[in-house]
Structure 1
């Protein structure tokens, strides 16, 4: 298979890229980034693009499966408008280009509480994106709604505090269904979903993601 990946520089994207390059099921991995990575690989094909100019790169979005794990925080983006552009517009543009180029499978990392009717900006944005990509009509669409993610060497203070709190509560038997998930497990589950030869829309929430790795 030929894999396409957007969001390769984020925590989940880095793990996903590493696993894809090691997986013999994928003969080529194309990533779309703002700048060249500091490593090379015989299976890796790098497209350095301007995400604001889809007319320049949309013809390159061709392959068997598109993995999308772009995302940023409101703090890093600087405003809701900037976060919307990265988390919604860029991802939707790639999904649309993939559908137009007959990519059969789209794999999206969303949010555990995504809902187009949510009063919370982030959750509503993720829910609206899910609705939009469903409407594109991919032969196969896999949406992952992970719980709090364990990112390697994270510098997000709130995330670190949240992980500590969840670990404590999980030890007490509380919130087991919302047990934090490592980005590596999420990445492997995404890859495994691409190997399942069944079309349709699949929404994988919370701890069910682990089953894709354990199977």
Structure 2
């Protein structure tokens, strides 16, 4: 029988992170699931029959101070924001590039068995779109990092789902439109389909080595 695994999630309060946490807590292959969070987790929203959950509230601006938590089998990074929510380009880059890049460095330093993070369909360091440019630069930085085993970027399209206290009418409209166009998005265009958060979460788990 294979040994049980330990997991670490960064960004468990987002759409994908919430779904990923629920899946990991119910997955018999995991013994512990640690979450690094900006604010306390509403544990009543999760089923944790095996008492696996280990929530830790931290300051992400000082992520290096929490490197010991990265000594796990699998690191899942769901950190991310939008340009609108960030308010300016510098803040957006800090969350979507710097925090994730530091997390990957800590996973490498602590010899984590795998590092999976959320990128975006269309990520390209040469893009004229700042969002996609940052995502592409991050992919390049992490994938070129030596001695980081099983690093993988998941590239979802527009997410389908409601975010609490987060008004994104354009994103909701885009998701609805892409759902209507789904029959036409085949072949090379399939990657642009709108996806549900639980699908992204399962794809992240698929990249980890058990």
Establish whether TM, by shorter chain, passes 0.5.
yes
Q: Is this contact kept in 1: 2:154–2:203, CA < 8 A?
A: no
- TM-fit CA distance, 1:126: 0.4
The answer to whether structure 1 residue 122 and structure 2 residue 142 are counterparts is no
Local SS of the residue matching 1:63 = coil
CA RMSD of aligned residues (A): 1.7
List gaps (5 residues or longer) in structure 1. Answer: 198-215
- TM-fit CA distance, 1:149: 1.6
Note the alpha carbon deviations across 1:175-215, whole angstroms, 9 max, x for none: 66122111101101211222x45xxxxxxxxxxxxxxxxxx
CA distance in structure 1 between the aligned counterparts of 2:64 and 2:77, rounded to whole angstroms = 19
- Poorly superposed stretches of 4+, deviation over 4 Å: none
| Aligned ranges 1:81-120 → 2 under 5 Å | 81-120=90-129
List gaps (5 residues or longer) in structure 2. Answer: none
The residue aligned with 1:23 is 27
Q: Judging changes above 3 Å, is the alpha-carbon distance between structure 1 residues 8 and 174 closer, same or farther for their aligned structure 2 residues?
A: closer
CA distance in structure 2 between the aligned counterparts of 1:130 and 1:174, rounded to whole angstroms = 25
The answer to whether structure 1 residue 136 and structure 2 residue 145 are counterparts is yes
CA distance in structure 2 between the aligned counterparts of 1:113 and 1:60, rounded to whole angstroms = 32
- TM-fit CA distance, 1:111: 0.6
Local SS of the residue matching 1:52 = helix
The answer to whether structure 1 residue 47 and structure 2 residue 56 are counterparts is yes
CA distance in structure 2 between the aligned counterparts of 1:156 and 1:16, rounded to whole angstroms = 22
Residue 202 of structure 2, aligned match among 179, 185, 188: 188
Residue 147 of structure 1, aligned match among 134, 139, 157: 157
Note the alpha carbon deviations across 1:107-164, whole angstroms, 9 max, x for none: 1110101011111110010011111111223121121111222124574101111122
Q: Aligned residues, how many?
A: 195
